[in-house]
Chains A and B, each alone.
Chain A
Amino acid sequence: MAKLYSKNPKQEQLKMNPKNETVDFLLSYSKALSVLQFNNMKMETLLN
């Protein structure tokens, strides 16, 4: 049986990853974000 040498696009897609900067941003965002509870309200604050 003939071998198929063409690349399988699905396999290539599975190896895709977001940029490290995006992940770093998310981790920093998470550290900066805090939620304060005041009576029945929840307020978000971003500390830089």
Chain B
Amino acid sequence: MQKELITDATLVSNYIKGDEGALGILITRHKQRIYSFIYSKVYDKDIAEDIFQDTFIKVIRTLKKGSYNEEGKFLPWVMRISHNLVIDHFRKSNRMPKFSNTGEFSIFSVLSDSALDAEKTLIKEQVEHDVRRVMNELPEDQKEVLVMRMYNDMSFKEISEKTGVSINTALGRMRYALINMRKIIDKHNIILTN
């Protein structure tokens, strides 16, 4: 009851003098009106919450800087700040439209999940297993180059240094490895597909 007797002007002046409790009383006294006003414009609780917070951050900064000079008109001043922030919000959201899933259009129909589902994971594993089996059929020198290039991600220069052959030989072995793999796949009618 005591709190209600203190006017906004007194609380503002006390707050400027360093009484932090005065701000608590001011917020408690006006939060419902300010928040409801913001919500009535934006119709979104989270956005209303953000604008309410930004409004009071502005209020706090202005009061602490000593730039406030409208004593006795605290609530209309705060309402004007929140009104301006609501306008800012709509300007911003016009520039950058927000998609919500409330209507017929769902953003998830456009955005797909790139992670593989259980079926695709199984197929991928099967394909990789088949490729390894085919590779094991290759002559050792070709297999060595293929493993270094595709699995170890080495350059042909590095492969030639490691195996002690020229780059051209390494390139040739890679070429024959691929040709031979295709032959084995055709011969055994292996279907590799994702």
Contacts and interface: CB of A to CB of B under 8 A. Distances in A.
A44 B61 CA distance: 8
B31 A13 contact: no
Contacts, number: 58
A35 interface: yes
Chain A interface extent, by class: 20 to 34
Interface string A12-48: 0111111100110111011101110000001010000
B23 A27 contact: yes
B3 to A, nearest CB: 15
A40 B20 CA distance: 25
Contact of B57 (A17, A26, A34): A26
B-side binding surface: helix, strand, loop or mixed? helix
Contact of A22 (B53, B64, B66): B53
Range, interface on chain B:
20 to 34
Contacts of A16: 32, 35-36, 39, 48
Interface of A: 13-19, 22-23, 25-27, 29-31, 33-35, 42, 44
Interface of B: 20, 23-24, 27-28, 31-32, 35-36, 39-40, 48-49, 52-53, 56-57, 60-61, 64-66
20 contacts: A13-B39, A15-B36, A16-B32, A16-B35, A16-B36, A17-B32, A18-B31, A18-B48, A18-B52, A19-B49, A22-B53, A26-B56, A26-B57, A29-B57, A30-B60, A30-B64, A33-B60, A35-B65, A35-B66, A42-B65
